Structure 1
Amino acid sequence: MTDDLLRHAWLHVDQLPAHFDLVAALREVKFDIPSVWVIATGSTDFTSGEHAELGVGVNGDIGALDWIAGEQRLVPLVGTNAGWKTYYLAGLDETPVPPHAEVPIEVAYQALAEFLTTRARPTCIEWQEAEQE
């Protein structure tokens, strides 16, 4: 089941199987390239004000995070990458990751775990506006 789920670039928290531990699943997989997933909450209508997304990237001991809700895109205040990076959606399609999105992998896992529990923007880190492409 883990491999099947991780082949999907976009997941919705309501569609994850009961008792499925996404953080544990990501910890188990060995990634050859920087990979990222988008996990949504709220409405499945992307244009709805009730729709929000947490982007979570894995690149060895580096993670990546961004939060998108409406027109707002946020990255961690303590993010370390100075420029744009290329990650791959579910390890497949190139996608740009904004400056300051990269954090230690454990911070990314902590933020994901909080998001999966609260279905809200993680508060374990501080956020700032993301740079526009």
Structure 2
Amino acid sequence: MRALPADADLLAEFRTLNDQPGTPRMFALVLEEAEDSEWGAGPSVWLNAGFGGETGLLRWVDDSGFFAPTSAHTADTVTYLDPHGELAALPKSLQVPIEQVFAAVTEVLRTRSKPTCVDWSNAEAAAE
């Protein structure tokens, strides 16, 4: 993972990446880290934001679970490059219009909390 300079315009960077051809990319905007006895220090609250042209993806993770945009949950998958550069098959139900991804990222950067511009559902419960 690469870190951007402190003065970088994150939304401009994401819009530039979104306009590039190729496999859609997913990033983790980490808001909090915690110590775990098994894994050590790591992210505990974050927003996954994916950019893939007309659509992107959103997933919110915090201590109460994994959350996906409320939509028709499906077993179908879509492939994104994850934050580590690995191909990841993700539930297609995480996909939303790209402008909703930009709105959620903007809100997270402003509030440092779960975006309210998205209707969320518990992704773990939906998978059961």
Shorter-chain TM-score: what band? 0.7 to 0.9
Alignment of 1:1-133 (within 5 A): 8=1, 17-29=5-17, 30-43=20-33, 45=35, 51-70=44-63, 72-78=65-71, 83-90=76-83, 92-130=85-123, 131-132=126-127
Q: Is the 8 A contact 2:23 2:79 kept in 1?
A: no
In structure 1, the residue corresponding to 2:15 is in which secondary structure?
A: helix
RMSD of aligned residue pairs (Cα, Å)? 2.9
Provide TM-score, normalisation by structure 2. 0.77
Determine what percentage of the aligned residue pairs are the same residue. Answer: 28
Moved more, 110-119 or 90-99: 90-99
- CA change 1:113–1:31 in 2 (3 A) is farther
**78-87 or 121-130, which deviates more:** 78-87
Larger Rg: 1 or 2? 2
**1:82: how far off?**
5.8
Whole-Å separation in 1 of the counterparts to 2:61 and 2:21: 24
Number of residue pairs the alignment of both structures matches: 120
Structure 1 length-normalised TM = 0.74
- For residues 43-90 of structure 1, the C-alpha deviation after alignment (integer angstroms, 9 at most, x for no partner) is 254678x92010000111111000111251111014786622221124
Task: Report the alpha carbon displacement of residue 132 of structure 1 after superposing the two structures with TM.
Answer: 4.2
Q: Any runs of at least 4 consecutive aligned residues in structure 1 with deviations exceeding 3 A, and if so which? A: 16-19, 44-48, 78-82
